[in-house]
């Protein structure tokens, strides 16, 4: 369960103050498939970054389970992210020198998982995203859609409580987008994995089970489908 | 995993990595080549001086060093020679009678020191017998006593082998004395200044003409260079009334050259390490700035900053570990090869001889330098990547993912 209360975020560069979030309250339950939508500059990425512990709020609390991540130190936060949150980025951000298998394995190595456990999970995850035959390919040998599917597998490798995806389909064509959404929906339905997206891609919005619209740093609409 | 990623990371931009590796290796090679050549020069100058005129240890009467009088001879020199010869690690002992002389032939005149020597004993102390044109080491002669003069003196006197020359000096009574000698051979050492002022005759011939019956100088060589100072102390204890000096005391400039070379080597090492440091700082900084987004991603997904820091450090270490051995191996092979075959500088032979050097230089390097270089390369690599690594730690993941 993610529970955020009265989250505010102000960016201050000394000259100009920008209020990116103006008091957001939100609960996301396990197993949700939620899209945070809104125009550019609405605050959706900031909200996602705060939920993911990549950014700290100026005020308010972010409870993930029983942990208020706004109160964690930098190192505790990094550790928390490793063990509780999966990330999928707009431009995939795979490690270019590693193969698909190694990219997925990377987080489990950081978690010091055993060889056997790693091997089993890598195979399971790459099968789940339909890339079991691309296991030894490096990112530059794969298409954008394939890379993003590896990124999804990587996000799930550490068995996170939920996955945050920042505009995951922004760089994908229609076919790859549909394919990626199929995979994520299947993982959501079969394994009850929570996904939270920031997006303005209508194709994602159409398939999301909950759509939260953010505008000017506030929640404008929160619709359950 | 971190080490593996670091190793793979350095091959992302092969051209840049190889440029740094080759530049570093060349820097190491250049530095070691200069150091070994300079060491070879210093060693050669030192060895030449020892083997030509200084020897390892010399014994004089204290007054001879002070006044240089013809009568300031070593008392009971034979007793000293016999005593010193019994010491272990002594290779050769040669007594010399030295007389300042005016020398003239039909073709010219010159002033020099006439050295009375016992050829067999002298051969154990100096290389004079190897520097002769014909190899007649005061051995074969007829009526007139034999003399060895240098090529430069021969030129001055317009003399050659079989030329008769007259040597005039003051005898033990303070009276003018002269002897006519026949040039039996001509020598040329690697030190033209030495050649200008020395000639050699048999000690018994010089004793007869000068009326002297002892010697002025006992020159000693030892089997182990490192034992020189200890042996000098031992001889001093055995013969407290005479003056005993090692080559460092006799020709301090040779020791200073040694020390100066250490300083020069230190400066070269610092230059090499600075070049390496700048190369690594530049490369790693570029690597960090190019990968801001990726490093941001690594921190985002849970790689702690300690691991990010070590990843950058390992990348530098790998660069140094490839460049260092490469530079060291190339240097070692080159120095070994040139150390055996020499660097031919015969085009500058005359200039080199004027400072006591031969025209073929044999580079040499104390093996300790390879160890020092290896340690310094790794240390420099680690130190110089600290700035880029710290720069990477300061990256804000959210910001790098948004803006990079």
Q: What is the DSSP string of A137-204?
A: --GGGS-HHHHHHHHHHHHHHT--SEEEEESTTTT--HHHHHHHHHHHHHHHHHH--EEEEEE--HHH
Average pLDDT over chain B reads 89
Position B404 confidence tier, pLDDT thresholds 50, 70, 90: very low
Does B404 lie at the interface with A, CB-CB under 8 angstroms?
no
Say if residue B403's pLDDT is above 70.
Answer: no
Q: Which residue, among A20, A54, A79, would best test binding to B if mutated, counting the most B CBs under 10 Å from its CB? A: A54
Per-residue pLDDT tens over the stretch B67-125: 888 899 998 899 999 999 999 899 999 999 999 999 999 888 999 999 999 999 999 99
Choose among B8, B297, B398: nearest Cβ to A49: B398
Residues B230-248, mean pLDDT to the nearest whole number: 93
**By CA distance, what is A56's nearest residue in B?**
B398
Reported pTM: 0.72
Q: Which residues contact B28 (CB under 8 A, 6 or more apart)?
A: B272, B276, B323, B324, B327, B328, B331, B373, B377
Q: With contact defined as beta carbons under 8 Å apart, do B40 and B361 qualify?
A: yes
Residues of A in contact with B12 (CB under 8 A): 96-97
Q: With contact defined as beta carbons under 8 Å apart, do A85 and A52 qualify?
A: yes
pLDDT of residue B229: 93
Cα–Cα distance measured from residue A98 to residue A107, given in angstroms and rounded to the nearest whole number: 13
Say if residue B140's pLDDT is above 80.
Answer: no
- Predicted complex ipTM: 0.88
Residues A27-40, mean pLDDT to the nearest whole number: 92
Cα–Cα distance measured from residue A74 to residue A23, given in angstroms and rounded to the nearest whole number: 23
* Cβ <8 Å between A75 and B304: yes
Q: Please state the domain extents for chain A.
A: 31-42+74-224
Distance of CA B88 to the CA centre of its chain: 26
Does B397 lie at the interface with A, CB-CB under 8 angstroms?
yes
For the domain bounded by A31-42+74-224, which CATH number is listed?
3.40.50.300
**CA angle (B186, B188, B193) in 5-degree steps:** 120
């Amino acid at each position: 369960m993610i529970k955020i209360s009265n989250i505010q975020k102000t960016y201050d560069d000394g000259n100009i103050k920008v209020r990116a979030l103006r008091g957001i309250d939100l609960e996301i339950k396990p197993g949700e498939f939620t899209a945070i939508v809104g125009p550019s500059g609405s605050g959706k990425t900031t909200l996602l970054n705060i939920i993911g512990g990549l950014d700290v709020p100026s005020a308010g609390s972010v409870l993930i389970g029983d942990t208020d991540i706004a109160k964690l130190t930098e190192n505790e936060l990094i550790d928390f992210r490793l063990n509780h949150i999966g990330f999928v980025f707009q431009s995939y951000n795979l490690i270019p020198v590693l193969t698909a298998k190694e990219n997925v394995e990377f987080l489990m190595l950081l978690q010091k998982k055993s060889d056997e456990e790693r091997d089993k999970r890598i195979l399971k995850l790459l099968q789940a995203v339909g890339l079991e035959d691309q296991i030894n390919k490096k990112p530059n040998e794969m298409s954008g859609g394939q890379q993003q599917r590896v990124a999804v597998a990587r996000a799930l490798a550490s068995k996170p409580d939920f996955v945050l995806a920042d505009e995951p389909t922004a760089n994908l064509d229609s076919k790859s987008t549909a394919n990626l959404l199929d995979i994520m929906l299947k993982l959501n339905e079969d394994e009850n994995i929570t996904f939270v997206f920031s997006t303005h891609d209508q194709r994602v919005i159409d398939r999301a089970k909950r759509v939260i619209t953010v505008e000017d740093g506030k929640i404008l609409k929160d619709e359950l489908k | 995993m971190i080490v593996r990623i670091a190793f793979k990371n350095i091959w992302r931009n092969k051209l840049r990595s190889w440029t740094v590796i080759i530049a570093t290796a060349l820097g190491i090679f250049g530095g070691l080549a200069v150091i070994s050549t300079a060491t070879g020069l210093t060693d050669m100058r030192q060895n030449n001086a020892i083997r030509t005129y200084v020897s390892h240890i010399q014994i004089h009467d204290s007054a001879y060093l002070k006044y240089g009088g013809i009568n300031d001879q070593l008392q009971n020199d034979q007793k000293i020679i016999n005593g010193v010869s019994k010491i272990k690690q002594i290779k050769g002992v040669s007594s010399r009678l030295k007389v300042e002389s005016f020398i003239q032939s039909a073709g010219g005149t010159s002033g020099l020191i006439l050295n009375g020597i016992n050829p067999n004993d002298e051969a154990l102390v100096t290389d004079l017998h190897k520097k002769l044109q014909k190899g007649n080491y005061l051995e074969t002669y007829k009526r007139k006593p034999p003399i060895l003069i240098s090529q430069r003196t021969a030129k001055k006197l317009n003399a050659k082998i079989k030329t008769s020359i007259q040597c005039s000096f003051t005898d033990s009574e303070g009276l003018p004395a002269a002897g006519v000698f026949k040039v039996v051979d001509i020598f040329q050492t690697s030190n033209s200044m030495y050649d200008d002022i020395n000639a050699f005759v048999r000690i018994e011939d010089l004793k007869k003409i000068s009326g002297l019956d002892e010697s002025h100088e006992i020159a000693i060589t030892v089997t182990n260079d490192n034992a020189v100072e200890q042996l000098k102390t031992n001889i001093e204890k055995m013969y407290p009334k005479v003056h005993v000096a090692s080559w460092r005391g006799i020709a301090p400039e040779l020791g200073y050259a040694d020390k100066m070379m250490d300083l020069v080597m230190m400066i070269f090492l610092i230059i090499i390490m600075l070049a390496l440091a700048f190369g690594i700082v530049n490369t790693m900084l570029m690597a960090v700035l190019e990968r801001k987004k990726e490093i941001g991603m690594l921190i985002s997904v849970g790689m702690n900053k300690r691991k990010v820091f070590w990843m950058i450090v390992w990348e530098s270490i790998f660069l140094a570990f490839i460049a260092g051995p490469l530079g060291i191996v190339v240097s070692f092979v080159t120095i070994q090869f040139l150390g055996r075959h020499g660097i031919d500088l015969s085009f500058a032979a005359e200039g080199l001889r004027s400072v006591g050097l031969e025209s073929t230089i044999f580079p040499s390097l104390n093996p300790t330098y390879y160890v020092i270089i290896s340690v310094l390369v790794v240390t420099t690599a680690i130190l110089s990547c600290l700035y880029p690594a710290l720069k990477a730690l300061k990256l804000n993941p959210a910001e790098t993912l948004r803006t990079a």
